[in-house]
Chain A
Amino acid sequence: MPKPKVASDWMAGCAGCHMSLLDIDERIIQIAELVDIRATPITDLKHADESGVDVGILEGAINNTANEEQARLMRDRCKILVALGDCAVFGGVPAMRNFFTIEESLRRAYIETESTDSSGMIPNDPELCVPTRVRAIHEVVPVDIFVPGCPPDADAIFYVLSELAHGRMPQLKENNLLHWH
């Protein structure tokens, strides 16, 4: 059996879930031996192979049109899509923005910030992506596996990755959910 191909990407998140991959400690070697790691935000290859990967992992919520494209691209190119962490699962910290209008958020960020002087302005270059309401990944594309946690527990991450590496679907059930969170 060829090694399963794994790609990952991050969107509106803090990169913490990717960093928490390291929390699995020496077990990362087992994973590295079992899978073929392809595109990730910290490798040269940024987009999952056009020919497709077995597992796509997405961290972060979807808060603009660029994130939408990232999510769609990953969904198109992977067989199993994993939403990793609370932002990916339900919106997480970025989703707190939804209590305000986009206009209010932009004004706060680019004009009213304490360190901004009178030259502050909301970027309006047509090349830029457009901010949207913050959404969980499953609101934009279908998700196969949800791994909640902020960040998810190292044991949960390892369990999910090692099951996928062995070609099995991880079962996040009552006991391990209670144990991990």
Chain B
Amino acid sequence: MVNITIDEKKVQVPEGTTVLRAAEQAEIHIPTLCDHPALTPFGGCRLCLVEVQGARTLQTSCTLPVTENMVVTTDNDRIREARKFVLTLLFSERNHFCPYCQVSGGDCELQNAAYEQDMTHWPLQPNWKTFDVDASHEYFILEQSRCILCRRCVRACGELVGNFTLGVEERGADSSIVADLGTPLGESSCISCGVCVQVCPTGALIDRRSAYLGHDVELDKTETICVGCSVGCGIEVYSRDNHLVRIEGNWDATVNRGVLCKTGRYLPLDAENQDRVYTPMVRKDGKLKAATWNDAIKTIADQFKKSPKSAAMVPTRLPAESLHLFKQLFKDQLQAATVTSIEEGLNTKLPTQLAAELGSPFEGALEEIEKSDCVLVLGADLAKDHEVVGFFIKRILPLGMELIWAGSDNNAFEQQAHQVLKPKAESYADLLQALNAALVDKPCAEFAKNAGVEESAVKKAAQMLSKANFPAIVYGEDLLKNASMNTLKALVELGHLSGTIGEQRNALVSVKGKANSMAAAQYGLDQPFNISDEQAVFIALGDDCPSQKLIKRLEKAPFLVVQASYSSQLTAQADVVLPVENWAEQDGSYLNLEGQLQNAVKSMPAPEGVLSNAAVFEKLAAALGYKLDSTGWKDNLLKQIPVSAILD
């Protein structure tokens, strides 16, 4: 520990702490612009200047490590004068026209910093040079005139997302933020995660959707979790008058620590452009007509009562509470022939069976991946789904992590991999056996040949894994698609042989499917959806988008109920449509891919007359004369052995 004095306050901090962080710990405020807690210190804006006893000049507190008995002053006339000068240069370097900027008036860190220094104007005028505006991107605009070159966006793109799209070109006053080597943002390697927009201190990165829709103080903010996929990132939902305005990553969330992908940040906002279902509808004389809830529920109950064979399907985006009610209603009580989830157990059925066979969870925690020095990605398209897991991997590549990528499709990760393994279709089992053999110095040529992979490539990958101190394995849908239990067992063996699964740590993770993939599996909602002569089918679609495959499979259903937030081709072919809440309008529990039980919090009220998914299941149960237990959802989650330990 190092002892230092800041503004006559004694502080004790660990060695290597910067003066800025030490001051924060002592609750002493130092103004900053380029600093961001999630990014490495940069020392670019010079606003955090402080006086250090014995130092000739003022020092940037964000980059200055503490030393024993250091005496720091954070506020005096000399410092304030310097800060004002720094701000004057920042304001006059480009064209900061506050009146027309969307963040002016409370949300601009530059403007707030100037007000904090009592500045009502700045004495130097700009040199009236024009700067480019890049409006080629779908979700945001880059306005160079408002940029202060703090490079938060550049650092976020590289350090947090590992995408390295943003950079700086030219020098001095000509410096500007560019994508790739000067490509328009919309045509660049940008993956639209929007982390750069979230960290921008000024209005230089303009969010197309939320700009001018209100300052932060005018918006309602709800801390909740993203239900876009099984990662379960912490988010902050900003809304105003029941409209979604913006979604940001929650810096305090343990799962994602601030980062978010396009699926989490931007896609949910598009939902408002979809047609909402506001009232129950029942088909009469070939046409869907508005009905009361009672009529609609009665129609469904009557039909299901007289149908000897029925089927029901639920999306894995719903809270565990709703999934549990659904399972009780259709599986335990109605005993429908097929009761499953939209994923049909693709991502979970086999792993859950293996966990049962092994008698314990065999997967580990997401945070282990980031501590790894070698990561093997097996059949998981992390550039398309579960992107945040991809960020965790990509961002440690510059630290010397070695990436082995194995998959049958082409993938954005392939180019960054140190070793690529491309097995033939349905031959992951051979590939795994080849790797296992190579790891114990046994001949692997035969397995490699069966997998359609070069023996040397397998050997090299095995070498990388065995050399690594902290290997990690991430696997996904492509591996599980046609896998047998032997494939999965070979995978676990690989985990043990490589040291991925050990006594101290377990870095084997599967990405699973949608938000509550694992909870659905725990409730046994993981059967294939094969319908033939079912007389009645209930699809609790929620706010999910039906796939063309599903629509096609249900074309011939004699009686189809669709419980949905939005109109779709599927609601159009339904006999009864029930309007339900979307993700933002519901509370509930979600089990993420590593078994963390998290809570989604309602951020907006549902439209009048629209019910929660759970309420609809309860209504229908009552009409059928069943009683559902709404409390046992948690106990039932733990009834079978989960793939990874459930952490409440």
Contact = CB atoms under 8 A, between A and B. Distances in A.
A145 B598 CA distance: 54
The 7 closest A-B pairs by CB, nearest first: A150-B99, A146-B120, A177-B115, A98-B128, A146-B121, A89-B121, A178-B115
B490 to A, nearest CB: 62
B123 A138 contact: yes
B18 interface: no
A92 interface: yes
Interface stretch (B7-15, B105-113, B579-587): B105-113
A100 B130 CA distance: 10
B122 interface: yes
A24 interface: no
17 contacts: A89-B120, A93-B99, A99-B130, A138-B123, A139-B125, A146-B120, A146-B121, A147-B120, A148-B98, A148-B121, A150-B98, A172-B118, A174-B115, A174-B116, A174-B118, A178-B112, A181-B106
Interface in A41-71: none
Interface string B82-120: 000000000000000111000011100001100111101
B99 A92 contact: yes
Interface of A: 83, 86, 89-93, 95-96, 98-99, 135-136, 138-139, 145-148, 150, 172-174, 177-178, 181
Contacts of A177: 115, 118, 120
A91 B99 CA distance: 11
Contact of B118 (A83, A135, A173): A173
A98 B127 CA distance: 9
Contacts of A99: 128, 130
B323 to A, nearest CB: 47
A148 B120 contact: yes
Contacts of A98: 128
B97 A96 contact: yes
Nearest to A98: B128
Nearest to B119: A177
A118 B195 CA distance: 52
A86 B128 CA distance: 17
A91 B121 CA distance: 11
Contacts of B125: 90-91, 135-136, 139
Given A92-B97, A99-B128, A172-B120, 7 more contacts: A86-B98, A98-B128, A150-B98, A178-B106, A178-B112, A181-B105, A181-B111
A86 B121 CA distance: 9
Contacts of B121: 83, 89-90, 136, 138, 146, 148
Contacts of B111: 181
